[in-house]
């Protein structure tokens, strides 16, 4: 807006007969709370959508009453760079990173007025703040009621693409092996019907499985069970899964495409992923366990979700891109819930699906979760493995990227999860943001700071080096797990029995590779030094010669050689 247009817009607002659902006036002191600002952003964005307005407006420096409204001025964020930084601060906590269209400063004789121009919620996607949706009840800020929430969500979904009938298609256009596999999965999902399923003909079964409607072939049937050559029934849409392997420089090294029936395409695609073995430190032991880099269930659930929620009208494909350190699963279409936090908070099915029939059929064939908690379970599975949580990148229009890391990013994060099995999922999500350098909400920061899970000052936070409040050293950690220390001692005794004597570097080489990478090199050094000194005091080993420290050599003491009382296990 030009200065003249800003003055005209302000005059329009001042003369409104009453405060409307999409315009709000605040005196706004200079310390106005950011969280309150975010709630009004959500409410005005949603109300603008519901009332058919392109924008909502929040006006600082004007009293609501009497009319005409008096200008009182505001000193809220008087420096322009500080004011403009609100765009990023708001985007960090809203669905789809929606933020102010513009922030206008209007100079008047009575004082400075700030007008926040807030875009209306996207069609089909209500605007949230910190995972919650807000609206207005006349002049009062309140949670967006369920009716209005669903009213916005249904805007972009006039029809269910997946339920459309494919005219001319018959059972001969479906792959028999896919139908047979679907029967097996349906029986697993519905054990009470298992005895009846073999007696159903294909038409009856497909109707029962919600794949066909009244014996007619739907787009869902072609996507999940159709022969590859039957995709012409879908028009310009060609459902496809693609596996793409990239090197460390992002260059493509290999690829393979998979076509319908997608029910049978998932396993071959997952088999292409290099799920190498890695070593991690499990809860309750000092020694690493070998596990796959990716939890198979997490990969399968993520890929099935991409198939279920793909916007097939965009004629895109579902990509599974494999890098050295991560896997990225990409599907077309906006993320209808708006943001991941709201999905986890809700932990229940949403009433609106892009492909309702397809989602329903995939539930019946045991492909996706029936209670709508798949994303939360993915987060919990990664937490249990002490691996980074998946990232949902929703920044690109009409695209959802799920990024799954296959390695430890910050050993302090890993150690924290291993030592604090009591942490709830929300604290783990906050710690995951910290290790990735992402900003925390005020509530997240207060929670992890109060529990001493992070150190530093915002924005430069890092996961606390302490493994819980009571275990800040490896020695403390081992004190609670004496069996592990005893096992280390046994390994040292067996080495000395075999070699007669051993240098410190030999003992280090034996023990270091048994200790988890979640323990720092200095902590490993201190642990081994203290272990040897403890064994010397117990009469199990003794030094050879006068050398000390890393140059020392060790052998079994005479008492240990003669089968003394010192326990080695």
Same domain (yes/no): 420, 523: no
Q: Could you tell me if 491 and 529 lie in one domain?
A: yes
- Which residues are CB-contacts of 486 (< 8 A; sequence separation ≥ 6)? 567, 568, 569
Q: Do both 556 and 429 map to the same domain?
A: no
Most confident of 28-32, 165-169, 235-239: 165-169
Looking at the fold, whether 85 and 129 belong to one and the same domain comes out as: yes
- In this structure, what CATH number is given to the domain that contains residue 523? 1.10.10.10
Co-location of 485 and 458 in the same domain: no
Which H or E run includes 511? helix 504-512
φ, ψ for residue 25 (rounded to 5)?
-110, 140
Q: What is the pLDDT of residues 226-279, one digit of tens each?
A: 999 999 999 888 899 999 999 988 899 999 999 999 999 999 999 999 998 877
255: in domain: no
Say if residue 36 is in the same domain as residue 151: yes
Residue 543 domain-assigned (yes or no): yes
In a domain, 451, yes or no: yes
Choose between 8 and 410: higher pLDDT. 8
Examine residue 489 and state whether it is found in any structural domain, yes or no: yes
Q: What is the predicted pLDDT for the residue at 477?
A: 43
Within this chain, do residues 49 and 75 fall inside the same structural domain, yes or no?
Answer: yes
Preceding omega of 66 cis (within 30 degrees of 0) = yes
- Per-residue pLDDT tens for 307-351? 999 999 898 899 999 999 999 999 999 887 777 877 777 655 555
E strand map for 17-149: 23-26, 55-60, 102-108, 111-119, 128-129, 132-137, 140-143
CB proximity list for 98: less than 8 A, separation 6 or greater = 45, 91, 119, 121, 122, 127
CB 59 within 8 A of CB 14: no
Question: Which of 124, 155, 186 is the C-terminal boundary of a domain?
Answer: 155
Strand order across the 128-129 sheet: 128-129, 132-137, 140-143
Judge whether 110 lies within some domain: yes
Range of the domain at 518: 474-561
As for how many domains the chain has, the answer is: 3
What's 145's domain CATH number? Answer: 3.30.950.30
Evaluate whether residue 239 is within a structural domain. Answer: no
In this predicted structure, the answer to whether residue 208 has a pLDDT above a threshold of 60 is yes
* In-domain check, residue 252: no
Give the model confidence (pLDDT) of 384-429 as tens digits.
Answer: 887 889 999 988 878 999 999 988 777 677 767 766 777 888 888 8
Q: Range with the lowest mean pLDDT among 90-99, 159-168, 341-350?
A: 341-350
Residues 425 and 452 in one domain: yes
- Least Cα distance to 75 among 85, 57, 60, 90 occurs for 60
DSSP label of 70? P
CA angle 399, 223, 175 (to 5 degrees): 155
pTM listed for this prediction: 0.61
Q: 51-90: string of b/e by CB count within 10 Å (b at 16+)? A: eebebbbbbbbbeeeeeebebebbebbeeeeeeeebeeeb
Same domain, 150 and 18: yes
**Rounded CA gap, 334 and 1, in Å?**
30
Instruction: Give pLDDT, residue 341.
Output: 76
R_g of the chain, CA atoms, integer Å: 31
Closest C-alpha among 493, 479, 483, 430 to residue 458: 430
Highest average pLDDT, of 136-145, 167-176, 366-375, 442-451, comes from: 167-176
Is residue 40 domain-shared with residue 65, that is, in the same domain? yes
Percent of the chain with pLDDT over 70: 89
> Is residue 399 a part of any domain in this protein?
no
The pLDDT score that the predictor gives to residue 517 is 54
Among residues 155, 171, 199, the one where a domain terminates is 155
Q: Which of 104, 133, 155 is the last residue of a domain?
A: 155
88 and 122 within one domain: yes
* Residues 73 and 151 placed together within one structural domain of the fold: yes
Tokens 């109300």 identify what position?
47
């Amino acid at each position: 807006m030009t200065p003249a247009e800003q003055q005209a817009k302000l005059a329009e607002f001042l003369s409104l007969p009453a405060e409307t659902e999409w315009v709000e006036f605040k005196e706004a002191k200079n310390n106005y709370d950011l969280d309150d600002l975010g709630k009004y952003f959500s409410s005005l964005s949603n109300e603008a959508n519901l009332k058919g307005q392109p924008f909502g407006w929040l006006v600082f420096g004007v009293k609501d009453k009497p009319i005409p409204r008096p200008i009182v001025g505001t000193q809220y964020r008087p420096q322009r760079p500080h004011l403009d930084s609100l765009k990023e601060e708001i985007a960090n906590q809203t669905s789809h990173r929606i933020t102010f269209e513009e922030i206008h400063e209007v100079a008047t004789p009575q004082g400075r007025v700030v007008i926040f121009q807030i875009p209306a919620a996207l069609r089909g996607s209500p605007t949230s703040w910190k995972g919650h949706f807000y609206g207005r009840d006349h002049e009062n800020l309140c949670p967006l009621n369920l009716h209005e929430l669903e009213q916005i969500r249904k805007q972009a979904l006039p029809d269910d693409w997946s339920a459309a009938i494919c005219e001319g298609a018959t059972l001969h256009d479906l792959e028999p092996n896919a139908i047979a596999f679907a029967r097996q999965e349906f029986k697993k999902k519905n054990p009470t019907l298992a005895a009846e399923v073999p007696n159903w003909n294909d038409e009856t079964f497909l109707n029962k499985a919600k794949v066909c409607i009244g014996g007619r072939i739907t787009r869902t049937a072609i996507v999940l069970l159709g022969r590859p050559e039957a995709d012409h029934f879908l028009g310009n849409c060609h459902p496809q899964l693609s596996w793409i392997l990239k090197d460390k420089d992002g260059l493509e090294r290999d690829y393979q495409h998979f076509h319908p029936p997608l029910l049978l395409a998932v396993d071959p695609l997952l088999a292409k992923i290099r799920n190498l073995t890695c070593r991690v430190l499990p809860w309750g032991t000092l020694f690493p366990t070998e596990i796959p880099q990716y939890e198979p269930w997490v990969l399968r659930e993520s890929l099935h979700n991409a198939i279920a929620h793909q916007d097939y009208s965009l004629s895109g494909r579902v990509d599974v891109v494999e890098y050295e350190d991560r896997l990225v699963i990409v599907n077309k279409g906006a993320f209808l819930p708006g943001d991941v936090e709201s999905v986890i908070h809700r932990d229940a099915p949403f009433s609106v699906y892009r492909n309702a029939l397809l989602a329903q059929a995939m539930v019946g064939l045991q492909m996706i979760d029936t209670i709508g908690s798949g994303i939360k379970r993915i987060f919990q599975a990664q937490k249990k493995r002490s691996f980074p949580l998946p990232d949902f990148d929703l920044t690109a229009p009409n695209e959802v990227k799920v990024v799954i890391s296959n390695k430890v990013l910050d050993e302090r994060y890993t150690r924290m999860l291993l030592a604090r099995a009591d942490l709830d999922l929300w604290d783990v999500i906050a710690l995951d943001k910290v290790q990735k350098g992402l900003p925390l909400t005020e509530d997240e920061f207060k929670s992890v700071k109060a529990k001493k899970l992070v150190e530093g000052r915002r924005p430069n936070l890092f996961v606390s080096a302490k493994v819980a409040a009571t275990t800040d050293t490896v020695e403390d950690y081992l004190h609670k797990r004496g069996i592990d220390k005893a096992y280390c001692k046994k390994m040292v005794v067996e080495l000395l029995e075999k070699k007669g004597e051993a240098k410190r570097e030999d003992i280090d080489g034996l023990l270091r590779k048994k200790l988890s990478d979640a323990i720092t090199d200095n902590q490993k050094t201190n642990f081994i030094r203290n272990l040897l000194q403890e064994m010397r005091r117990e009469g199990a080993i003794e030094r050879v010669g006068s050398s000390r420290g890393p140059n020392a050599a060790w052998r079994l003491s005479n008492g240990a050689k003669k089968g003394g009382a010192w326990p080695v296990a």
